[in-house]
Structure 1
């Protein structure tokens, strides 16, 4: 059984790798003196998808949540005790912040010489293309519902008859989650940048606010509650919906 200390460590490390690689791909396509500049939305989506794969694989001992919305969904669904939830949350936020700081360190020279330093906030956190709080919230709820509902209804492989694993839809392991994230980004990510993870947005937003980035813009704290509340509501609704179905345990 994984101890709370181990849960904290693996969630922190997994979420740090998630935001290091995820923010990193956005930096690569955004910063004017990066080799990936102009790579586009599809590259960003694939980068974030594989960032989830890497982070979740590392955090496997803790259940690979790396996302408070997943944690709240799993707690409602009965997969983890509520007493563990704060440990997951704290580790995820710290990890999200640390990963974003490491991304900045990797791209420091490009941040220092970019032609549009005021436009660097989007490397770290999300924002709407059409600001409208209620509808931006709806977008984040829907996207996160899809993610958490898929995770809940596709549990890891379990031993079957004769010891042969019963893979089901979990045959691809954490790679399958990467495909789901890429799919959500391609289909639902356009309006708000698809945070679908409070730690992925809040941690890097904190990092952006405190890092010494030349000519940086505002961290937009007025919007920051939407990529927190929306995913948490979406994750909770996904768990409640799953509990209402015959699949519930």
Structure 2
């Protein structure tokens, strides 16, 4: 239960702050409306930092991400019997975090039409240029870099390491993330996308599920490649 609780609340905080940032930037009549890419990347980085701190304190390893949990298990870095509790915590926590964003920004959703910024992109990722193969490769490359760095940080829930993880997310976003919005994390994309689909969000547009295979498969492939390389060079 410690693993589930840590991953649930850590991922909830991650999505509450991260998707909250996206809502703040994209919806009308916010003080941060129209803020730039650096604001987005730094906010998501700090969202991950805070999520990892919460998860670690509550007894999990602070994965917050199936693209960490599953590849780590495949390569013997994480016990298989904990995989399902971790995944359940990640996906459920991400959904609750997204639901809280709907409540927090409900008045702003109500005054923002789809053509003015009210889109699934607040909750999930979308490509800057729709090119499915290259969108997939973008997620593979970005997640590979992220997971490979994580593997060389050791226990990333202790000391200032969660802050370093946040810096990694920020620089991945600025350096590699502007092509697809850098999902890096299937739970971060699918659960908020599902929340946007089923919750009564005012003025909402399509959830764009036809694209959702990219932020699911790309990060998992990138994580597996990173763990495979680490196992060969370590």
Aligned to 2:86: 88
Within 2, Cα distance between the matches of 1:118 and 1:176? 31
Match of 1:27 among 8, 23, 43: 23
Misfit runs of 4+, over 3 Å: 115-119
Deviations 1:171-206 (Å, cap 9, x if unpaired)?
731000000000000011111000000010001000
Which of 52, 65, 68 aligns to 2:66? It is 68
Consecutive unaligned residues in structure 1, runs of 5 or more: 158-169
Q: Does 1:193 align with 2:181?
A: yes
How far is the alpha carbon of 1:76 from its aligned partner? 2.7
CA–CA distance in 1 between the matches of 2:95 and 2:227?
A: 27
Q: Separation in 2 of the partners of 1:54 and 1:213?
A: 26
Residue ranges of structure 2 left out of the alignment (5+ in a row):
none
Pairs aligned (count): 230
C-alpha contact (below 8 Å) 2:113/2:203 kept by paired residues: no
Partner secondary structure for residue 146 of structure 2: helix
Check the 8 A contact 2:7/2:55 in 1, yes or no. yes
* TM superposition shift of 1:215: 2.1
Quote the RMSD (CA, aligned, Å): 1.5
Question: Residue 207 of structure 1 corresponds to which residue in structure 2?
Answer: 195
Q: 1:118 to 1:40 in 2, by over 3 A?
A: closer
- Aligned pair 1:123/2:122, yes or no? yes
Equivalent runs, 1:30-109 vs 2, <5 Å = 30-60=26-56, 61-109=59-107
Residue 145 of structure 2 aligns with which residue? 146
Alignment partner of 1:181 out of 164, 169, 173: 169
**Pairwise CA distance, 1:86:** 1.7
Residues in 2 aligned to 1:221 and 1:197: alpha-carbon distance in whole angstroms: 16
**1:244 counterpart SS class:** helix
SS in 2 for 1:110: helix
The answer for the alignment partner of 1:224 in structure 2 is 212
